[in-house]
Structure 1
Amino acid sequence: MTDKTSRVAIVTGASRGIGAAVAERLAGDGFTVVINYSASAGPAEALVREIEAKGGRALAAKTDVSDADAMRGMFDTAERAFGGVDVLVNNAGIMKLAKIADSDDALFDQQIAVNLKGSFNGMREAARRLRDGGRIVNFSTSVVGTKLETYSVYAATKAAVETMTAILSKELRGRNITVNAVAPGPVTTELFLNGKSPELVERMAKMNPMERLGTPEDIASVVAFLVGPDGGWINGQVLRANGGMV
């Protein structure tokens, strides 16, 4: 990869939750960070100021990841501002839960657009434009393995991302670019907690032998490993960061 002081990472969906924790961790590790957001600029710009106050470099970029032209434009912005891109963390995603019989077309189409097409748009652009020696980290979910009820469409989008992860890792042969996926278990984010009763949250926390929910920082540490020097021999893999949940 390029010199540590000039490495540039794009993190999608980085204004809050896991994405914000990843952006903050990578900035602390010396990366210049492009903080992607889709709606409100406030949290993203606040995170930029926080990173800059600690001596790091960052910028906020509003982008609809499901729009290929917008994804291309975000890479353009990063290249103009910082000279190139070394890392893409495909974190942006939405989760809408329902049994298959109760799922409407909007629930299906929105998750396909953001979780699957958004990840594809990022992978395609990164495959064309990352500097040699770079890293791509996609986001899946441990529900691909646990197959919990009501998660079918969400998990299906992530299973597709896992398949593309493995294939892209082979397609980038010769460029020293690794492509991996992180598949978190339940994590204390708004995305996970929204709409769940305290009893359900407690029950899901007990599903792993660590008997707790993950934190955004737990997942950020996994991403930091994959994009850092110690993760260079990990390629085409799905890392299930879930405390041992089966």
Structure 2
Amino acid sequence: MTTGKTSRSGNKPAVLITGVSRKIGIGYALARTLARAGWNIGFTYYRDYDEQMPWGSRPEDVEDLIQELKGYGAAVCSQPADLADPEEPRRVIREVRDNLGPLSALVMSHCYSVDSTIQDTSLESFERHFRVNTRATWLLIREFSRLFAGTFGTGRIVAITSDHTAGNMPYGASKGAMDRIVLAAAQENRSRGITANVINPGATDTGWMTPALEQQIRRNTFLNRIGTPQDCANLVEFLCSDRGCWINGQVLYSNGGVEPGAGG
């Protein structure tokens, strides 16, 4: 299996993006957009999770992305990683650093999401949601912050969240806890000059919507369309740039506007 490693490319900053495996996913758009903006790209993927989901796994997507990123002039380091394993965050960050140089940004778009309610959520499912969505985020941030050696004010942490609650309880609860960890990172990294923000992109077209649900979301959104992965990637690129340095410690809603009570 290829790791997608290439030699370092110039003096470009390096970013680690988690949860990049599907061409239609948010992580994929993040990698493309940041590569075009001049970043070297490290990314993680976990094909076993995709294979369990309705959309399935396309092994060629990762290889296609590696070649596309190289075409933009980016150095690339891809890492398969099960972030439920508490050893993986440290390993991945150090592997990417060793291949791409010091990391300037950490963008977390990984998730584990299996629908269930308060009544039917199993203990195993609840704990796995928190291991992947919450604990891994903490461990990634901790290692990234410890190793950050860039100029004060240039470090970036961005996480992708959700406002799901009823019907998707363990996912929503674990993402809510994740938000607090990222907000804590904004305060605790003041001396390091690392900003930390959360993006809630609302309902985004990544292949999970039924036609009926898509129509419902369109009706509830002010701009009468579905959010795209590129919409989220545009905001991440801004936050990671020098222009985004004054935004810190925020949960940002980037959902096109949603009718009150309609959800996302």
Which deviations, in whole Å up to 9, do the C-alpha atoms of 1:214-244 show, x marking residues without a partner? 0000000011111111110011101111111
Structure 1 counterpart of 2:214, one-letter code: V
CA separation in 2, counterparts of 1:107 and 1:208? 31
2:70 matched to 1:52?
A: yes
2:215 matched to 1:209?
A: no
Q: Secondary structure at the match of 1:68?
A: coil
- Structure 1 residue 75 displacement after superposition: 1.4
Structure 1 counterpart of 2:243, one-letter code: D
1:8 to 14, 27, 37: 14
Segments of structure 2 that go 5 or more residues without pairing to the other structure are: 1-9, 48-56
Q: Which residue of 1 aligns with 2:119?
A: 101
2:23 matched to 1:23?
A: no
Which deviations, in whole Å up to 9, do the C-alpha atoms of 1:122-154 show, x marking residues without a partner? 1111121123321000121133xxx4x302221
Structure 1 counterpart of 2:18, one-letter code: T
CA separation in 2, counterparts of 1:118 and 1:184? 21
Segments of structure 1 that go 5 or more residues without pairing to the other structure are: none
CA separation in 1, counterparts of 2:131 and 2:227? 27
Equivalences for residues 166-185 of structure 1 within 5 A:
166-185=183-202
Equivalences for residues 145-156 of structure 1 within 5 A:
147=165, 149-156=166-173
Q: Which residue of 2 aligns with 1:141?
A: 162
Q: Secondary structure at the match of 2:78?
A: strand
CA RMSD of aligned residues (A): 1.7
Verify the 8 A CA contact 2:186 2:194 in the aligned structure 1: yes
User: In proportion to residue count, which structure has more helix?
Assistant: 1
2:252 matched to 1:239?
A: yes
Runs of at least 4 residues off by over 3 Å: none
CA separation in 2, counterparts of 1:29 and 1:12? 18
Which deviations, in whole Å up to 9, do the C-alpha atoms of 1:180-205 show, x marking residues without a partner? 01111000103x43xxx321221123
- Structure 1 residue 6 displacement after superposition: 2.0
CA separation in 2, counterparts of 1:204 and 1:103? 26
Structure 1 counterpart of 2:129, one-letter code: Q
Query: Under a length normalisation based on structure 2, what TM-score does the superposition of the two structures give?
Result: 0.83
Query: Under a length normalisation based on structure 1, what TM-score does the superposition of the two structures give?
Result: 0.89
2:197 matched to 1:162?
A: no
Q: Secondary structure at the match of 1:174?
A: coil
Q: Secondary structure at the match of 1:154?
A: helix
